[in-house]
Amino acid sequence: MAQSVTDNKEKLNLQPQKFSMWLFIITSFMLFAAFTSGFIVYSQGSTDKGIKIILPHAFIFSTIVILLSSVTMYMAFRSAKKLQYNKQRQYLWATLGLGLAFFCLQFYAWSILVKMGVYLVNPNASQSFIYIFTGVHLVHILVGLILVISSLIGSYKNNPPVKNLFRLEMTSIFWHFVDILWIYLYVFLLLNQQ
C-alpha cells in the first residue's frame, strides 16, 4: 500500500513535465505551420513558383528510416510496460541508431542539393526553404536523440518502474511527433517541387 501511494505521488509530481512537453510540441507545430505558410505566401507572390527541383532520393530513405525508428520506439515503450527492460534497451538502442542514420541522411541530402546548385542563400528563396524546414527539423531530431539517450541511461539505473515508464512515455511522445512532422514536411516539399 505504501509503495502504491509513493507511485501515485510521483505520478502527480511528473504531470507538469508532461504538460510542458505538450506545450513545446504545440509551439513547434505552430512554428512549422508558420514556415509552410511563409513558403506558400512567398511562392504565390513570386515569379518562381515552387522549388523547381526534384528532391534528392536521400529524403525518401530518411523517411523510411524515421518510420522504422517510430516502430522501434513503440516496441521499447511496449517492453517497458511489460517490465521487459532488456528488450526496452535493445529497442532504444535501435531507435538511437536509426535516429543517427536519419541525421546523417539529412546531411547527405544537403550535400546532394549543394551539388545541384541549391544553396541556403539563393535567388529562388523557395529553394532556401528546404534548408530551413530540414534544418529546424534536425534541431528537433537532436532534442529527440538527447531524450532517447536519457531514456536509455535511465533504463540501466534502478529507478522505480513508474519513473522509467514516464521518462520513456515523454520520449516516445516527442519522437513520434518529430516523425509525423517529418512526413508532413516531406509531403509538403514533394507537392511543391515542380
User: Could you read off the pLDDT of 4-36 as tens digits, one per residue?
Assistant: 434 554 555 667 788 888 999 999 999 999 999
Rounded to whole angstroms, the Cα distance separating 194 from 188 reads: 12
**3-class secondary structure, 119:** coil
Give the 3-state DSSP-derived string for 85-114, with helices as H, strands as E and coil as C.
Answer: HHHHHHHHHHHHHHHHHHHHHHHHHHHHHH
Higher pLDDT, 52 or 131: 131
- Domain 2-191 = CATH 1.10.150.20: no
Residue type, 70: S
Under a CB-based contact definition with an 8 Å cutoff, are residues 39 and 126 in contact? yes
Domain extents for the chain?
Answer: 2-191
User: Nine-digit cell at 40?
Assistant: 506558400
pTM for the model: 0.87
Under a CB-based contact definition with an 8 Å cutoff, are residues 48 and 124 in contact? yes
pLDDT at 106 over 70: yes
